[in-house]
């Protein structure tokens, strides 16, 4: 059954309107530049010694020329001033609207969540009564239900915690604190091994929509023995060769940093990704691309769930035209990527399932801009794990494929080269930490 779909950002958003205002201002400046150059050229001509000498021979003619030139220069100067003034006004308006929109984006969720916080904490603050552990269990269940129903509470809590501990304003505090917590966890060197016997979805053909993208990622996550599994899907078709890279999520929650593990998809990698730091998992993904024979001229779409989405966002921030690899699209599911400095040249689709607290753990909302769409759907059982499961995101992706939102339609057009390929061949790799 399909559920409600809420779309924020994209080509039809208010953020896109801000960018259009900036574009109009730039167009006006460009239109004014030739007028400015023409005025300077005309002034030089009128002051040229040969022109002055000719004026002495024909004073009447020179006066007529000067009069015409004066009228033309006055008109051009007026148009020039008008263009410059209007361009400045448009930029000022766009800046003011952005400031108000950013203030609303940052403060409103936190204030609203703060007002709802007492209700969410009520199960923990009530008397335990004679039931003892049973009451405590009910309290934990109540808190989980509260967070699933209102994940922005986690968002607000992260902001409050990191700001109080780090003494810095969020979102800078979140990255600082994550980096501090990551230090005790060993990172190490990546060992990348091809897994030719792992099942793939190649028999089903190339992807045709968002659901196909998430379905392939779910297949890899279901066969992710030992963690750190990635797919390098090579697409061929009329649009040329392209690559989809699937990155799976966390498999080990190693709270004790002194216990070294070969798993790269662990808590230390989560913290490093949240702090926008390089990790062994990220370096292993780059090595997998090299082993798969991907070249700089082949466009790449990165797809990741949870930790995999954070790693994908980090790579999208690093791999641009002129780099070793070229990322054009990023798709994340249930990933906290609001702090990732993804450039505007990358088209982003972020999926959030209502009730999933994980995308809120960076304490930052995703940017609002024409090239970044954040979509909220509602699926999965009412538990923290249920809302975060990749199956709940697959159900949400099916909703997206049937959604007629203009922003989503525009995103699908930009991704047409990946969604209209004729052939697909998948190489599976496992990334481990060197012992």
What gap in Å lies between CA 114 and CA 116, rounded to an integer? Answer: 5
Question: Per DSSP, what are the bridge partners of residue 7?
Answer: 375
Among 277, 263, 273, 281, smallest CA distance to 361 is for 273
What gap in Å lies between CA 158 and CA 165, rounded to an integer? Answer: 11
Q: Quick one: tokens of 297?
A: 């001229």
What gap in Å lies between CA 420 and CA 209, rounded to an integer? Answer: 9
What gap in Å lies between CA 321 and CA 307, rounded to an integer? Answer: 25
Phi, psi angles (nearest 5°) of residue 336:
-80, 95
Task: Record the pTM.
Answer: 0.73
Place of tokens 């009412």: 382
What gap in Å lies between CA 49 and CA 1, rounded to an integer? Answer: 83
Contacts of 427 (CB under 8 A, 6+ apart): 194, 196, 231, 232, 233, 234, 288, 291, 292
Angle CA 291–297–299, to nearest 5: 85
Question: Per DSSP, what are the bridge partners of residue 191?
Answer: 432
Report strand pairing: 372-377 vs 423-433: unpaired
pLDDT at 435: 78
Among 356, 351, 292, smallest CA distance to 324 is for 292
Q: Quick one: tokens of 350?
A: 């972020």
One digit per residue, pLDDT tens: the chain, 435 residues?
A: 456 778 777 655 555 556 666 666 677 777 777 877 777 787 777 677 777 777 677 777 767 767 776 777 777 677 777 777 777 776 777 666 666 665 655 555 555 555 555 555 555 455 544 444 444 444 445 555 555 555 555 555 555 555 555 455 555 677 888 888 999 999 999 999 999 999 999 999 999 999 999 999 999 999 988 889 999 999 999 889 999 999 999 998 888 888 888 999 999 999 999 999 999 999 999 999 999 999 999 999 999 999 999 999 999 998 876 678 999 999 999 999 988 999 999 999 999 998 888 888 887 888 888 899 999 999 988 788 888 999 999 999 999 998 888 889 999 999 999 999 999 999 999 999 997
What gap in Å lies between CA 115 and CA 396, rounded to an integer? Answer: 29
pLDDT at 77: 73
Place of tokens 């049973």: 134
pLDDT at 129: 45
pLDDT at 130: 45
By three-state DSSP, how is residue 372 classified? strand
Is the distance from CB of 229 to CB of 428 less than 8 angstroms? yes
Phi, psi angles (nearest 5°) of residue 13:
-95, 170
pLDDT at 135: 46
What gap in Å lies between CA 171 and CA 38, rounded to an integer? Answer: 48
Number of alpha carbons in the 13 Å side-chain half-sphere of residue 285: 35
pLDDT at 363: 76
């Amino acid at each position: 059954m399909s559920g409600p779909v809420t779309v924020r950002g994209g080509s039809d958003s208010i953020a896109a309107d801000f960018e259009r205002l900036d574009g109009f201002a730039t167009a006006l400046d460009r239109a004014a530049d030739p007028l400015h150059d023409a005025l300077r050229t005309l002034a030089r001509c009128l002051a040229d010694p040969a022109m002055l000498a000719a004026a002495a021979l024909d004073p009447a003619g020179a006066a007529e020329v000067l009069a015409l030139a004066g009228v033309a220069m006055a008109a051009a100067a007026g148009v020039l001033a008008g263009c410059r003034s209007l361009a400045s006004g448009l930029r000022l308006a766009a800046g003011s609207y952005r400031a108000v929109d950013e203030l609303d984006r940052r403060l409103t969720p936190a204030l609203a969540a703060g007002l709802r916080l007492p209700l969410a904490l009520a199960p923990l603050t009530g008397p335990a009564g004679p039931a003892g552990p049973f009451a405590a269990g009910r309290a934990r269940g109540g808190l989980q239900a509260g967070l699933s129903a209102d994940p922005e509470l986690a968002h607000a809590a992260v902001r409050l915690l990191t700001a109080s501990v780090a003494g810095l304003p969020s979102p800078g505090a979140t990255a600082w604190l994550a980096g501090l917590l990551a230090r005790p966890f060993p990172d190490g060197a990546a060992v990348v091994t091809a897994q030719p016997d792992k099942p793939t979805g190649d028999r089903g053909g190339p992807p045709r929509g968002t659901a196909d993208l998430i379905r392939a990622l779910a297949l890899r996550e279901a066969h992710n023995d030992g963690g750190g599994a990635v797919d390098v899907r090579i697409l061929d078709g009329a649009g040329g060769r392209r690559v989809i890279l699937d990155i799976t999520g966390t498999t080990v929650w190693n709270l004790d940093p002194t216990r070294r593990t070969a798993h790269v998809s662990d808590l230390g990698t989560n913290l490093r990704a949240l702090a926008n730091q390089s990790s062994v998992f990220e370096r292993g993904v780059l090595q997998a691309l090299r082993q798969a024979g991907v070249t700089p001229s082949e466009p790449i779409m990165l797809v990741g769930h949870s930790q995999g989405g954070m790693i994908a966002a980090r790579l999208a921030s690093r791999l641009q035209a002129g780099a070793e690899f070229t990322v054009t699209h990023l798709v994340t599911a249930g990933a906290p990527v609001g702090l990732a400095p993804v450039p505007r040249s990358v088209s982003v689709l972020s999926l959030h399932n209502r009730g999933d607290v994980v995308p809120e753990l960076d304490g930052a909302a995703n940017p609002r801009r024409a090239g970044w769409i954040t979509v909220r759907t509602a699926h999965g059982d009412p538990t923290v794990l249920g809302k975060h499961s990749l199956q709940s995101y697959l159900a949400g992706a099916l909703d997206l494929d049937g959604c007629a939102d203009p922003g989503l339609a525009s995103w699908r057009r930009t991704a047409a080269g990946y969604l209209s390929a004729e052939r697909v061949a998948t190489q599976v790799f496992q990334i481990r930490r060197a012992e």
